[in-house]
Amino acid sequence: MKKVASWAAAEITKESSEEDDGDKHRGRIQIQNNTNLKAGLTVSWASPYPPSKADGLMALKMLETELSKVNKKMYKRLKQCGAFDRVIRFIKNAPVDGYDNLSIRENKSITCPSQYNGERIDIQIFKGRAFVGY
């Protein structure tokens, strides 16, 4: 699995008067398939602040751009089955306070039909919340 990026969501722009709780919000978005797990890509976060919807969309765009360079076949199949569009819709439709790790059972998989080798985009929230905002 190739790590595309990691970020601390909103860490630079937000200030808090509360005590720092370290990585209160942790998770990742990853692209993978069932046949070659090393072919996958991932973007992860660990931050005292939950990533916003814009952060999630930016992470997805980074994955999409990287995948189009390193695995054109997988990129094309995920585009054809509408996986990227479904993830965009999932992120944009998050409640204002975002999803928590319980609301999506820690793992939301956007999968393609079986003829696509189990190719999918996984959203995992290990701790805290993700995709907050309007």
pLDDT digits (tens, 9 = 90+) for 25-45: 999 999 988 766 566 889 999
Under DSSP, is residue 104 helix (H, G, I), strand (E, B) or coil?
coil
Q: pTM of the full predicted structure?
A: 0.79
Query: Residue 49 — very low, low, confident or very high, per pLDDT cuts 50/70/90?
Result: very high
Residue 96 sits at φ, ψ, to 5 deg, of -55, -40
pLDDT > 90 fraction of the chain, expressed in percent and rounded: 48
Residue 82 φ/ψ region, left for φ over 0, alpha for ψ in the -120 to 50 degree band, beta for the rest:
left
In sequence order, the 6+-apart residues with CB closer than 8 A to the CB of 26 are 44, 45, 46, 47, 125, 126, 127, 128
| Mean pLDDT of the residues in the chain | 80
pLDDT tens per residue, range 61-92: 999 999 988 888 889 999 999 999 999 999 99
Residue from 62, 42, 48, 54 nearest 12 by CA? 48
User: What is the model's pLDDT at position 115?
Assistant: 72
